[in-house]
């Protein structure tokens, strides 16, 4: 599968969200938006109340780092990818129903401490698996290389599923994640701290073996 770099946005205000989308949308197909509720993780970001009328020149994937993710998904109709955390879900049927009703697709995210064998039985429900290579909650953290073993295991068991990696991704760590089997690289600081966003995105993609 071709390697894709996806800018990840973690912000607290709609104005900053829109500014960051505008900065990267000419250079990518998809934007990753982090949503935190200060319950599942100790941080709070923009939420569905800030997502009305988002620019339509890119696709969106929503990373729901929240308790009761199905209630958030219900507020976001459209062909979006909804990545929900294994650790936050009590009823997968309810989550699937919410995603289907919203018209989107399901992704399953998991924290660095969660064993891959707990994700495997759910993989056939999802379009994508999101492996966290940092503990979710804040950007700017260091990549946890031990997660690569889990990416390799999941890639071996599910050769056709999309696998995304999120956390501490730059050209170097992106290359490691891609070698382990990831085909989607979500990057935040490495893109948004760079003066030239297009060049930063290209560096991560080339580092991971993409063209």
Interval 97-122 mean pLDDT:
98
Secondary structure E strands in the chain:
4-9, 30-36, 59-65, 81-85, 105-110, 128-132, 162-166, 184-187
Tokens of 203: 């560096």
Per-residue pLDDT band at 192 (split at 50, 70, 90): very high
Per-residue pLDDT band at 16 (split at 50, 70, 90): very high
Per-residue pLDDT band at 211 (split at 50, 70, 90): low
Q: Give Cα separations from 31 to 26, 159, 196, 202, 208 (angstroms).
A: 11, 24, 17, 15, 18
User: CA 152, 110, 104, 170: dihedral to nearest 10 degrees?
Assistant: -60
CA dist 177 and 134 (Å) reads 13
Q: Among 166, 183, 196, 202, which one carries the catalytic annotation?
A: 166
Predicted confidence at residue 113, as pLDDT, reads: 97
Residue for token pair 């699937």: 96
Domain boundaries, position 83:
4-207
Cβ pair 30, 63 in contact under 8 A? no
Mean of the per-residue pLDDT values for the chain? Answer: 96
In the chain, the number of structural domains is 1
Q: Catalytic site residue 183?
A: no
Task: Kindly report, residue by residue over 24-70, the tens digit of the pLDDT.
Answer: 999 999 999 999 999 999 999 999 999 999 999 999 999 999 999 99
Residue for token pair 């938006």: 33
Predicted confidence at residue 208, as pLDDT, reads: 75
Q: Among 34, 91, 183, 196, which one carries the catalytic annotation?
A: 34
Task: Kindly report, residue by residue over 147-169, the tens digit of the pLDDT.
Answer: 999 999 999 999 999 999 999 99
What's the residue count for the chain? 211
Predicted confidence at residue 151, as pLDDT, reads: 98
Instruction: Give me the CATH number covering residue 169.
Output: 3.20.20.70
Q: Catalytic site residue 166?
A: yes
Residue for token pair 């700017």: 140
Task: Kindly report, residue by residue over 81-108, the tens digit of the pLDDT.
Answer: 999 999 999 999 999 999 999 999 999 9
CA dist 197 and 80 (Å) reads 24
16 Cβ partners below 8 Å, 6+ apart? none
């Amino acid at each position: 599968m071709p390697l894709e770099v996806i800018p990840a946005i973690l912000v607290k205000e709609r104005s900053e969200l829109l500014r960051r989308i505008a900065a990267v949308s000419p250079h990518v197909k998809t934007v990753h938006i982090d949503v935190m509720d200060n319950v599942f993780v100790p941080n709070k970001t923009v939420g569905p109340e800030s997502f009305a009328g988002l620019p339509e020149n890119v696709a969106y994937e929503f990373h729901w780092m929240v308790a009761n993710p199905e209630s958030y998904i219900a507020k976001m109709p459209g062909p979006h990818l909804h990545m929900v955390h294994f650790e936050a879900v009590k009823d997968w049927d309810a989550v699937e129903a919410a995603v289907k009703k919203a018209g989107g697709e399901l992704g399953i995210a998991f924290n660095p401490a969660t064993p891959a064998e707990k994700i495997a039985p759910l993989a056939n429900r999802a379009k994508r698996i999101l492996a966290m290579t940092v503990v979710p909650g804040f950007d700017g953290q260091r990549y946890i290389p031990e997660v690569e073993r889990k990416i390799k295991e999941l890639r071996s068991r599910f050769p056709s599923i999309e696998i995304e990696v999120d956390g501490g991704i730059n050209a170097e760590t992106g290359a490691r994640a891609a070698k382990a089997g990831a085909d989607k690289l979500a990057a935040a600081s490495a893109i948004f701290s760079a003066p030239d966003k297009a060049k930063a995105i290209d560096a991560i993609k080339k580092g991971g073996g993409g063209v």
